[in-house]
Structure 1
Amino acid sequence: MKIAIVISFFPPDRIAGAELGAYFMARELARMGHDVHVIVTRRGGMPLGKERRDGFTIHWLPFIDIPGLRFVGELFFGALAIADIRPDLIHGQCLLPGGFLAALMGLLLRRPSIMYLYGQDVTHVKPHFRVTFGWFAVRYCCHVMAQAKHTCEVAMRTYSGRPIEVFYSGIDLSRFRIPERDYRGELKLPADGVNVLFVGRFLDIKNIDVLLDAVAQVRNDAGDINLLLIGTGDIEAALHAQAVRLGITDIVYFLGTVPNSEIARYFASADIFVLPSRSESFGLVNVEAMAMGLPVISTTVMGIPEVVEDGVNGYLVPPGKVVPLAEKIRALAKDAGLRRRFAKANREKAARYDWCEIVPELERRYRLLAAAGPYASRVTGRTSGVRKII
């Protein structure tokens, strides 16, 4: 089957949940023998043209970086690329422009289409886009999936109850194996004490400032504790200044950007993982930490509670609240037995989120849609057999 996956960004230009998801889908589908084409509408710093990678083809399209023309350009060049490829099925990764292009070109080329919603593409879309392009994408894609129940519920409320399937995203589990040796010395990380780890972009919504405040509160009564921060972003300078102001520069390590191929070693060098975000569609980085056997502390927002169960495999705290976060860090830092219990539960739960197991289920939906015909469900909102197997 010739499959087109349409997305705005793609690794290495951007590495986030939707982008990594598109990569692993493409890789695994190619390994299964499909002719996979990833159409990238915003190539960023990547060279224009085609690239072969891991058995699939990436199409880096022209991008008009002019306000007012960006989205129009994405639709124009994206439509041309899809028409040139003439795939058997079109997969839109995220609502816009991927989902809209999948729906539109599916109609024009008489091909089945599928859209995968990730969360913030639904909750953060501009109102005038939501009621026009977004409405069209949800109504006219043959099948719509969401990577979390929260995203599914929001999308169904927003788009008048159109049936949407919850289809959880995943990780490359083979990259997250607990090593037999300690990497702390090799990575020049603290060898003593409890290492608390954060991994992500340094953005306001990540609430890293709240994490710094919480660590400052517990440093004197939770034993030896260190905070490892992996990432970069707009607020990095402000975070450095905050660490100085709190007097915790001796226990806070700003580690910068770490390649994906190396990140597992840092997980292996930590004892607790914290993701204190106030907005997080699903939080796949929590799953990565779980796969490495780390107890997780995260927040009660959006799709996170679907992965982290409070008191079972980690703790959940209200976003933006320093005291509850400090209390949970303190509790885990002082109780190695509790960390081991959460770690065991996390290793077992993370095994459910392996792309090698998820993509065959995705392919099964592709085949059902292909068999159902190009107009299955577009007007009725039904999914012509796909939901019958779920």
Structure 2
Amino acid sequence: MNELALERVTDLKQVVNVAIISPCQGRYGGLEGFVLAIAKGVRTDQDVNLNLCFKQTDGFELGRDLETRVADSGAKVTFVRKASMDLVRAIWQADVVHVQNPCPDVVFMARAMGKPLLINVINYSRGGKSLHERLWRLCLGLGHRRFYISEFVRRTWEKSEQPWRNSRVVFPICDLSALEPLPPEQRKGFIFVGRWIENKGIDTLVEAYGRAGLDPQEWPLQLLGDGPLRQRVEALVSKLGLRGVQMPGFVDETEKGERIRRSKFAVIPPNTREDFGLVAVEARHLGVPCIVTRDGGLPEAAGRHSLICEPGDVEGLAALLKRASAMDAQEYASLARTTHESLPEELVAPSFYTKIYSELARGSRASVARG
């Protein structure tokens, strides 16, 4: 085929069939939110026909929360088993395969069928030499494009200062609140949002709040969520005699956004090597500055204007709480504004993925035409 004919073939406007494949335990979490946000964002694009496949992991049980989110997304969603014929069929019918984490069954089938492969890497490498780690590292090399959720995650896998060819860091798309930031004078106190489990730092935060000795009326602390540490946290609050701590439990997304934007600071203090930090992005979207620990990819999510201490450092966190409370109105307003305004330049829109899918499909079709 001559060059002119090849150019005509590759320039034809064709619908791109995309299979997004994501491992799933049946509950709604950060990964499910990410792929549903992509599906929701591109569903009206006439150039993309998207099939979102949740690949059931061991012990899968579909929860009402995920079921509701799927229905609300309006996207085409299917649930498939690992290495099943439904999964094979989804990959076979796709022009582009977009997998979340380098799952060996998906990667090997996609490459065997000659499908362009985009791999989103969500979890960091533990650095071991297990079969799991070796397989994932092998599969990473088979991707045509690799997107890492944070620079922290990328470096654990690629172990290099500079990204491999066709690798880059792309923050996850989030289904962010439709609420707008409130004026600083309508905000008060600190807020924590997360699971009450080991290494998320909720007990460290309660201790730090006690040591900071702040006015509980002006600087209350809201602890959203719940989990196995509730009794420990309640006992610690009682032991320290803290009057400014509020524990409303789980709240819906609308109330969560409202509570965040009415807070002056979001506090996210884990000690667990976080891959990223979606709560930090949610807070920044509402113009709420973050106080975080230097933990994994969290500082990247919280942005360059966040206040940072070391993980597990009660005194360091208490010092940041006091520093935050000592800001005058002008300093806080400036911090809140830059926190909000710096976020859009770090995020991508769903149209970004539409472009990537088209590029991968066009490259594949051009290769077929040349052959």
TM-score by length of 1: 0.78
Aligned to 1:382: none
Alignment correspondent of 2:9:
none
Q: 1:374: how far off?
A: 8.2
The one-letter code of the counterpart of 1:139 is G
How far apart are residue 345 of structure 1 and its match?
0.6
Match of 1:228 among 222, 227, 232: 222
Which of 39, 42, 46 is 1:29 aligned to? 42
Q: How many Å separate the matches in 2 of 1:93 and 1:270?
A: 33
> Deviation digits for residues 49-103 of structure 1, max 9, x if unmatched?
9x765342111235xxxxxxxxxxx3446634525x61111111123x3xx3442
Contact 2:25 2:61 in 1 (8 A): no
Partners in 2 of 1:231 and 1:183 — Cα distance? 23
Shift of 1:348: 0.3
Paired amino acid for 2:117: S
Q: Find the counterpart in structure 2 of residue 316 from structure 1.
A: 308
Q: Which structure 1 residue ranges, 5 or more long, are not aligned? A: 63-73, 185-193, 377-390
> What TM-score comes out, normalization by structure 2 length?
0.82
Residue 217 (1) aligns with residue 214 (2)? no
CA distance in 2, matches of 1:53, 1:331: 42
- State the Cα distance separating 1:38 from its structure 2 match: 1.4
State how many pairs are aligned.
Answer: 341
- Structure 2 counterpart of 1:234, which letter? P
Listed as ranges, the matches of 1:1-390 within 5 Å are: 1-9=16-24, 13-16=27-30, 18-33=31-46, 34-42=48-56, 43-46=60-63, 54-61=73-80, 74-76=82-84, 79-80=87-88, 82-83=90-91, 86-95=93-102, 97=103, 100-120=104-124, 122-123=125-126, 127-132=130-135, 134-157=136-159, 162-163=164-165, 164-173=167-176, 175-179=178-182, 194-220=188-214, 224-248=218-242, 250-278=243-271, 279-308=273-302, 313-337=305-329, 338-354=331-347, 357-373=348-364
TM superposition shift of 1:316: 0.6
* Secondary structure of the structure 1 residue equivalent to 2:220: strand
Q: Residues 286-338 of structure 1, C-alpha deviation per residue, up to 9 Å, x if partnerless?
A: 111112111211011222232445xx622110010011110111111132433
* Change in 2 beyond 3 A, CA 1:153/1:329: same
Counterpart Cα distance in 1 of 2:183 and 2:215: 31
The alpha-carbon deviation at position 110 of structure 1 amounts to: 1.9
AA of the residue aligned to 1:361: F
> Identity of counterpart residues, as a percentage?
19
- For the Cα contact (< 8 Å) 1:170–1:284, is it kept in 2? no
- Counterpart of 1:79 in structure 2: which amino acid? L
* 2:214–2:322 contact (8 Å) kept in structure 1: no
Partner AA of 2:62 in structure 1: G
CA distance in 2, matches of 1:22, 1:167: 13
* Offset at residue 265 of structure 1 (A): 0.5
Q: Is the Cα contact below 8 Å between 1:102 and 1:113 reproduced in 2?
A: no
- Say whether the 8 Å CA contact 2:28–2:63 is kept in structure 1: no
| Residues 107 and 375, structure 1, Cα contact 8 Å, conserved in 2 | no
Q: Provide Cα deviations, 1:114-171, integer angstroms capped at 9, x if missing partner.
A: 1101234x34888220112x1332121221110211111111129x975321112233
Q: Distance in 2 between matches of 1:14 and 1:274?
A: 23
Distance 1:143 1:111 in 2: 12
Letter in 2 for 1:201: R
Q: Do the aligned residues in 2 keep the contact of 1:36 with 1:57 (CA within 8 Å)? A: yes
Query: Match of 1:373, as an amino acid?
Result: S
Structure 1 245/128 Cα, relative in aligned 2: closer, same or farther at 3 Å? farther
